[in-house]
Structure 1
Amino acid sequence: MREKLKMLRKNKNISVEEISSKLNISESFYYKIESGDRNPTIALAKEICNFFNVHVDEIF
């Protein structure tokens, strides 16, 4: 999961600050999701996938 999220974010040329702001979560929480230290809720996982325009199975 972590490599996929990081790759998607970098391909979109967006910072952690920007994506966390759009998702209404803290930067540290997004970092923890991206690093695999925390798991997002189902609702947040869907928001992340919608943001990157990918299916949930592709990331999680």
Structure 2
Amino acid sequence: MDRRYGWIIVDPNICHGKPVFKGTRVLVADVLDMIASGMGIDEILEEYPQLSICFT
């Protein structure tokens, strides 16, 4: 496994196999949509504080 991306997983038993951040059920696509809409990391972490280990 490439360690740079070790915090994104795909498991058919979690969120129907869509990519999520490891240890959460937060969809990668949702976070990418937030970034695309102009949200900053601080705003995203406010919405999903469990992602702090991925972005710090």
TM-score, normalised relative to structure 1: 0.29
Structure with more contact order per residue of length (Cα contacts < 8 Å, sep ≥ 6):
1
Tell which structure's C-alpha radius of gyration is larger.
2
Indicate the structure with greater helix content. Answer: 1
After TM superposition, the score normalised by the length of structure 2 is: 0.31
